Amino acid sequence: DDSSNTKNIPMDRKESPVVRGVSDTVVGVLGGGQLGKMLCQAASRMAVKVMVLDPLADCPAGSVAFRHVVGSFDDGDTVESFAKRCGVLTVEIEHVDAVTLERLERQGVDCQPKASTIQIIQASFFPSILYDKYLQKLHFSQHGIPLADFMQVDDIESVKKAGDMFGYPLMIKSKKLAYDGRGNAVAHSQEEIPSAVSALGGYGRGLYVEKWAPFVKELSVIVARGRDNSMSCYPVVETIHKDNICHIVEAPANVTEKVKNLSIDIAKKAVDSLEGAGVFAVELFLTSDGQVLLNEVAPRPHNSGHHTIESCYTSQYEQHVRAVLGLPLGDPSMKVPAAIMYNILGEDEGEPGFYLANQLMKRALSIPGASIHWYGKPVTPRVAIIMGSDSDLPVMKDAAIVLDSFGVPYEVSIV
């Protein structure tokens, strides 16, 4: 009876072609920045092939991707032909053509996370595109997630009205072209409204206002969701911004268990309201009275999760690859008690900036436990330095030495 040889082998194994790596599915990534680069590095360890789509010939991910397609991730035709070459499509930036993604999804392209998620989150580069950042405010408030009060504004009268209701300082935000703080302007009084609005390009750009969140800390939680809807959370971290860009990350955050649990609950609830697999970064505000408010969500790996490469059993990048491919999720817990990520933003472009970043990296290399990640941005030098150690104190001390040598005033806090 020749069926006896094979009767214990599942049909799919008998019939499927030879799988040479952990997965033969090509992962397509829209965007080839530093997040895409780190994603490619994690994937390559598992022999997963990643193709990136980015318009810059010398984009950070270009040198480490299995393949780099030079083209625009916000051009429909380009995204479509790229998608057809991939088994699963994901993003490392949300400012992509979400209208095309939705159409491709209807035609059977496997987008993870789903096009609907990108639409809710994005603050499109294109004034003509329907979707913008305000949509995410509406979405999360409709899902009962705590947010700073907000209101759409169309003219000076409506901003004044919001100012009367919410008080000052008042945060005015642009619905579109909003990233790295570029879409935010603060009015400290009614008199400052016109200048804040014009800094954002006027009412025509589409504006909304938010009540000032009197935060004592900004926190971030990275949540991973697998294709089977299983969820897994990274430890809550504190993020410190400089000029609206993530500058220092402390992992774990020095907050109470209660605040950690509340942050994780809110982060999970936010991600639960979005569709698709992958990692999601949830940015939060912690107020002095222990309230946690959602700021915004990024449907992809995040700068606040760089430290996971060295400090966690499974990095956020590997987790994202596992999630979109439907592989088992890894362990997100930390394997060191504490870590610090220090993001060097090149102050100067070109030669002087690169020279300085190079000097800083060399200093960091001499610190035990420190790892450096050169983003590889073509114009502006950007470096992330990650420090982990066996005990909290040396980590923070090492960090202080590095930070001191950079001339950054930084108060060392011991977790």
CB 394, min distance to ligand ADP, A: 29
Q: Which is nearer to ligand ADP, 354 or 410 (CB)?
A: 410
Q: Which does 118 bind (CB under 5 to 8 A by kind): ligand ADP, Mg ion, none?
A: none
Q: How would you classify the pairing of strands 27-30 and 88-91?
A: parallel
CB 213, min distance to ligand ADP, A: 4
Residues 282-311 contacting Mg ion, CB under 5 A: 283
Q: Which is nearer to ligand ADP, 130 or 216 (CB)?
A: 216
Q: Which does 241 bind (CB under 5 to 8 A by kind): ligand ADP, Mg ion, none?
A: ligand ADP
Q: Which does 125 bind (CB under 5 to 8 A by kind): ligand ADP, Mg ion, none?
A: none
Q: Which is nearer to Mg ion, 97 or 283 (CB)?
A: 283
What Å distances lie between residue 151 and 159, 296, 325, CA to CA? 9, 16, 39
CB 283, min distance to Mg ion, A: 5
Q: What angle do CA 96, 100, 105 make, to 5 degrees?
A: 110
Three-state SS at 159: helix
405: how many CB neighbours lie within 10 A of its CB? 14
Q: What angle do CA 36, 38, 40 make, to 5 degrees?
A: 70
Q: Which is nearer to Mg ion, 297 or 386 (CB)?
A: 297
Instruction: Find the farthest-apart pair of alpha carbons in the chain and give their distance in angstroms, rounded.
Output: 89
Stretch that binds Mg ion, among 71-79, 228-236, 278-286, 369-377 (CB under 5 A): 278-286
Q: Which is nearer to Mg ion, 9 or 245 (CB)?
A: 245
Tokens of 355: 């020279």
d(CA 274, CA 48): 26
**Which positions lie near ligand ADP, rule CB under 6 A?**
148, 171, 178-181, 183-184, 210, 212-213, 218, 241, 244, 283, 295-296
CB 156, min distance to ligand ADP, A: 20
Question: Any long-range contacts for 197-203 (C-beta under 8 Å, 24+ apart)?
Answer: 197/156, 197/159, 197/172, 200/172, 200/173, 200/174, 201/174, 203/153, 203/154, 203/155
Q: Which is nearer to ligand ADP, 241 or 363 (CB)?
A: 241
d(CA 363, CA 29): 33
Chain positions contacting Mg ion, by CB under 5 A: 283
